[in-house]
Structure 1
Amino acid sequence: MVITSSMQPEVRARYLKRQVEQIRDITADRVVELVVKIRSEEESADAFVDTVAEALKRRGLSTQARDLLPADQSTFDEGRKSKEGGEALRQHAESMSAQMSGSAVPSRVQLERKAVSALETFLQSDAVKESVAAVSAVPAAQRPEPMAPISFWTSSSAVLQVRDEDLDKLASREDIEGIYLNQRLSVPPVLTPKSVPSAVLDNKVSSWGLRMIGALSAWGAFGCKGDGVTIGLLDTGVDADHPDLRGKIAAWAEFNSMGQEIVGSKPHDSDSHGTHCAGVICGGNASGRWIGVAPAAKIAAALVLNGAQGGTHAQILAGMEWAINQNVDAISMSLGGLIMEPDVPSTYTRAILSAVKSGIPVVTAIGNEGHQTTGSPASDFLAFAVGATDHEDRAAGFSGGRTQVISESPVFPPQTLPLVYSKPDLSAPGVAVFSSVPGGQWQHMNGTSMAAPHVAGAIALLLSGTSIARPSRVPRDQKAFVIQDLLTGSARELGEAGQNHRFGFGRLDVLSAIGFARDLGY
């Protein structure tokens, strides 16, 4: 449960009190690191979110993937010509690409200014200053190294250290919508299989996943390999000197546990996970096999999971903001924390919403704990969640998926609630996937972590093979939805009719996605 702007003060107070109690149940530390979400009345009533939520509700009733294909390009053109056209777009919305008049969405600069102003007001308040300053008075043996608060406009959140005894005072503020422990997340578990099926090894030209999703055919049929596209990869880092990735790291950043950027950091991989994911997105054929879905694409890599130490919510939120500010074309996150209940936390919702409003799909791995489990942020309503399949189009046993619920939310308007929806949205190759690892080597790995970058790479192919990336063709606030609808609407349908917990709407087919996009005028 998360608070809404419509909650009465006494209800909000009880909720925040329970959050404080939950934090104290988790840790007995004298000083705690928090992610504090600041309320935004204006965004709670955002017509954009209202429209998207209603469209996504209808989406859940679709019994075939093709129902999700976006409107013909001419529909956008008609909507630009008149107010009536804009209203027609709203009523036409049968999929995630629900339309609304473009002028209703504030620019990213406007959104940033409003969020920064609210965060500055919070951080400059006497109560917060006093709470933060009091940390230094705690004996060094009972606290972490004091760090200055940091804020992220994309998630309307601040990360700060406070004493346990100051939690109640903090929770009494009216401008707070939620308080979360800055919990640590592990690097997602992946497995190097002891034996690889001969049908996988028989793929001598490329990894089996590239052939299965139609990437090789898309290169030949449409002449696109991801040229001019940059994918934001938030992971354990990347080996920029790997022969399959050399020259493809367009930007780099590393963040500490509080979400502060580490000055002077150079590209490296603190594990092997990030380099493997990077190879799936844009690796070449240095091994003798093509491993990357979009070998001409670039990567903006952020280290938000530090090897054996893992990462934190603050690191991931920092990485998301950095990637959005880098103007990437999509964000790929093969990370997350296991969520045991169907109720979805709002830790990442505003950050994903900021990305979507900027035209950036957020591709997430659903998790590796099996059927009827999911991970956050993949469980988030607006995340583009991906499950894993094998070379015979069977769902991987470890791949997650289930029905999720949002009963109350600080983001979605009350009239759209409760939201009941399924995850994942799509599936992609995630078993015995051959890709790069640090030190100029290659390995086969299992995991939904391997499936998500297939989708991110497919986005690069889709953008380089169509006109979707041109602002004159697709409105900025609809770009992410058009991309997601084309990929889900063109999927090879597997399992139950419509969306199901094992495959989503089906297995990724980027060749068909580009074909449908061109047929629809994109």
Structure 2
Amino acid sequence: MVNLSRHLQRRIEFIRDTAEEEVHEVIVTIKSPDADDDDFTTGLLETLQRRGVSNSARDLLPVSRRFLSDANSDTPRKRNAALEQLKNEDRSLIAYLAQAAPNLTGAAMGALTSAPFAAALQKVVRPAVNMIANSDIVQNAAKLVTNMPGQEPASQPVGFWTSSSVLLKVQDQGLQRLVEDLVSFNMPIQDVFPNQRLSLPPVATPKSVPGTVEDNRISAWGLRSIGALSSWGAFGCRGQNILVGLLDTGVDPNHPDLKGKIAHWAEFDEQGRVVPGSVPHDTDKHGTHCASTICGGDKSGRWIGVAPKAKLAAGIVLNGSRGGTLAQILAGIDWAVERQVDVISMSLGSVELTAEVPPPYTRALSRALRLGIPVVTAIGNSGSQTTGAPGNDILALAVGATDHMDRAAGFSGGRTVVIRDSQFFPANQLPIIYSKPEVSAPGVAVYSSVPGGKWEYLNGTSMAAPHVAGAIALLLSGTKIKQKVPSFQRAGLIQDLLTGSAEELGESGQNHRFGFGRIDVLRALGFARDLGYC
């Protein structure tokens, strides 16, 4: 018999105490086989915590492209001088990432563009995940489930490489034994989670729309508020050549504002498997509304998409009637990363009423960031002092909602959150305390597409997150960041520019209502130009 760590033992007891079924679907995570991963995240965590004590969004603005180029130089003298200066930029994500780059080894060595970097990571991680999935221990546990009355035939366990995890089915009485056996055979088990169910985020149609919102006849008010229209004219950027990953309820491909904009499509079942033969559709209206806020056109008579020339990699991870699962979301992140998207937008989450943050998403978000992909998430619609996961993850770019008068929406979430117990972060860094959200964006009376060639006003942080994803598409299409900045550093630079240029609202610095402020993409592009990124 193996003595499990206190952490694993608590996880198992929690799953067994809270489950209502005799069969558990659990997601088992393994220790990262990539030696760089832990060191990278440790340093990143320190930088994020320093950002949290800034009293102004401007403290977060990135270093100039000249310093970044010097830090990435092949000339040791030039590189070392730049890196020494970057140590003083302790709240800039790009400064940390520039300092971390020379220390990369193993899978990451020399692979600083997204495609080879992703391939290198997969070559290291996938075999470790498959080792668990294909082990006799797991296969025998699956067969025991199959022999139970009313259970379907055993299917191959599903692995998710960005999160280093595997979805397993196991009998209630067999969960403890399964984990003990895996550990006893030196399988690198790190954590275990239930395959949590998520409901469709609550959104609402406002009963009345203020006249000042209706008066925006050329575009939805949100585009004007964040400077999207001005950015089109001043920088000639509309999201061209940018691919946005949208993980949601699907998209209506025949809506006049979205025709021809779905570059990639997938649907995932509740175990995270790709549904064969699926064609683009929306199981609700939520995904279509978010999609058009990112890249919709002007077929309604108003421009509704922040980046109307961007394309979508759209995946169904939530069903309009049944909701979704953690496995579906992890599978969707894998798929989006493999499609080499430039940003991922997720207007979804499970409500968390306590300050304690569940960590099943952290590894996947860390790997996406290392590959240059910011992950934009809604913070949740349950009001002040609540958050939703994955928006409350420390590595997520979480978004709160504002109205047309730059007031925080009453439903918009945000709070101080804490990580007390983690197998991902070193014990000497615990507890980790930080604030959410990072930024805010229009999320009240947002006008956008719904299936059937129609348009509706909706409220929700779900409506705010795609404004930020669209803004990132504009930022990339209006600058040379994608062409000139290594992917390892790209996501940090994007977040520095967006948060550092925000319209500061509420308390100074980061606060629970607005984050660092409401985004202003025109101002972000202006800073990018002045810092040499255009």
**TM-score normalised over the length of structure 1:** 0.95
Offset of residue 202 of structure 1 = 0.5
Q: Which deviations, in whole Å up to 9, do the C-alpha atoms of 1:258-307 show, x marking residues without a partner?
A: 00000110000000000000010000000000000000000100000011
- The partner residue of 2:122 within 112, 121, 143 is 112
| Mapped pair 1:153 → 2:164 | no
Offset of residue 408 of structure 1 = 3.4
Structure 1 residues not aligned, in runs of 5+: 1-8
- The partner residue of 2:228 within 212, 215, 220 is 215
Pick which of 344-353 and 407-416 moved more.
407-416
Distance in 2 separating the partners of 1:164 and 1:514: 54
Partner of 2:384: 371
Q: Is the partner of 1:398 in helix, strand or coil?
A: coil
Distance in 2 separating the partners of 1:79 and 1:431: 42
Q: Which deviations, in whole Å up to 9, do the C-alpha atoms of 1:165-218 show, x marking residues without a partner?
A: 210112223321111111211110000011111110010000000000000000
Over 3 Å counting, the alpha-carbon distance change for 1:44 and 1:169 in structure 2 is farther
- The partner residue of 2:58 within 63, 66, 74 is 66
Distance in 1 separating the partners of 2:176 and 2:100: 43
Offset of residue 85 of structure 1 = 4.1
Q: Is the partner of 2:482 in helix, strand or coil?
A: coil
Distance in 1 separating the partners of 2:153 and 2:204: 35
Partner of 1:132: 142
Q: Is the partner of 2:309 in helix, strand or coil?
A: coil
- The partner residue of 2:510 within 495, 499, 510 is 499
Residues 255 and 315 in structure 1, CA contact (< 8 A), matched pair in contact too: yes
Offset of residue 101 of structure 1 = 4.3
Residues 205 and 290 in structure 1, CA contact (< 8 A), matched pair in contact too: yes
Q: Which amino acid aligns with 2:129?
A: L
Distance in 2 separating the partners of 1:348 and 1:222: 35
- The partner residue of 2:411 within 374, 377, 398 is 398
Distance in 2 separating the partners of 1:414 and 1:55: 17
| Mapped pair 1:417 → 2:430 | yes
Q: Which deviations, in whole Å up to 9, do the C-alpha atoms of 1:115-147 show, x marking residues without a partner?
A: 11211221232221211121111111xx35643
Q: Is the partner of 1:266 in helix, strand or coil?
A: coil
| Mapped pair 1:170 → 2:172 | no
> How many residues in Structure 1 have an aligned counterpart in Structure 2?
509
Partner of 2:487: 476
Q: Which amino acid aligns with 2:91?
A: E
Partner of 1:3: none
Pick which of 92-101 and 172-181 moved more.
92-101
Distance in 2 separating the partners of 1:86 and 1:282: 38
Residues 47 and 104 in structure 1, CA contact (< 8 A), matched pair in contact too: no
Offset of residue 79 of structure 1 = 0.8
- The partner residue of 1:94 within 91, 95, 104 is 91
Partner of 1:245: 258
Q: Which amino acid aligns with 1:481?
A: G
Q: Which amino acid aligns with 1:94?
A: R
| Mapped pair 1:464 → 2:477 | yes
- The partner residue of 2:356 within 343, 364, 373 is 343
Distance in 1 separating the partners of 2:152 and 2:380: 31
Distance in 1 separating the partners of 2:130 and 2:313: 28
Distance in 2 separating the partners of 1:45 and 1:439: 45
Q: Which amino acid aligns with 1:131?
A: A
Residues 267 and 317 in structure 2, CA contact (< 8 A), matched pair in contact too: yes
Q: Which amino acid aligns with 1:114?
A: V
Partner of 2:13: 21
Q: Which deviations, in whole Å up to 9, do the C-alpha atoms of 1:6-57 show, x marking residues without a partner?
A: xxx95x5332222122112222312121111112265586322122111111
Residues 361 and 484 in structure 1, CA contact (< 8 A), matched pair in contact too: yes
Partner of 2:204: 191
Distance in 1 separating the partners of 2:298 and 2:103: 46
Q: Which amino acid aligns with 1:76?
A: L
Q: Which deviations, in whole Å up to 9, do the C-alpha atoms of 1:293-335 show, x marking residues without a partner?
A: 0000001000000111000000000001000000000000000
- The partner residue of 2:319 within 306, 326, 345 is 306
- The partner residue of 1:30 within 19, 22, 27 is 22
Residues 33 and 125 in structure 2, CA contact (< 8 A), matched pair in contact too: no
Distance in 2 separating the partners of 1:43 and 1:169: 29
Partner of 1:509: 520
Partner of 1:315: 328
Pick which of 188-197 and 417-426 moved more.
417-426
Residues 397 and 438 in structure 2, CA contact (< 8 A), matched pair in contact too: yes
Q: Which deviations, in whole Å up to 9, do the C-alpha atoms of 1:458-495 show, x marking residues without a partner?
A: 0000000001111xx22221110110110000000000
Distance in 2 separating the partners of 1:164 and 1:16: 16
Over 3 Å counting, the alpha-carbon distance change for 1:161 and 1:86 in structure 2 is farther
Distance in 2 separating the partners of 1:145 and 1:365: 37
Over 3 Å counting, the alpha-carbon distance change for 1:100 and 1:410 in structure 2 is farther
Distance in 1 separating the partners of 2:81 and 2:428: 25
Q: Is the partner of 1:252 in helix, strand or coil?
A: strand
1:351-366 pair list within 5 angstroms: 351-366=364-379
Pick which of 163-172 and 106-115 moved more.
106-115
Structure 2 residues not aligned, in runs of 5+: 109-116
Over 3 Å counting, the alpha-carbon distance change for 1:202 and 1:45 in structure 2 is closer
Distance in 2 separating the partners of 1:23 and 1:408: 16
Q: Is the partner of 1:469 in helix, strand or coil?
A: helix
Q: Which amino acid aligns with 2:341?
A: V
Distance in 2 separating the partners of 1:418 and 1:112: 31
Q: Which amino acid aligns with 1:359?
A: G
Distance in 1 separating the partners of 2:35 and 2:331: 21
Distance in 2 separating the partners of 1:47 and 1:187: 36
Residues 17 and 171 in structure 1, CA contact (< 8 A), matched pair in contact too: no
Over 3 Å counting, the alpha-carbon distance change for 1:145 and 1:187 in structure 2 is farther
Distance in 2 separating the partners of 1:85 and 1:36: 44
Offset of residue 236 of structure 1 = 0.2
Q: Percent identity?
A: 56
Partner of 1:6: none
Distance in 1 separating the partners of 2:226 and 2:319: 31
Q: Which deviations, in whole Å up to 9, do the C-alpha atoms of 1:427-452 show, x marking residues without a partner?
A: 00000000000000000000000000
Q: Which amino acid aligns with 1:95?
A: S
**Aligned residues: CA RMSD:** 1.5
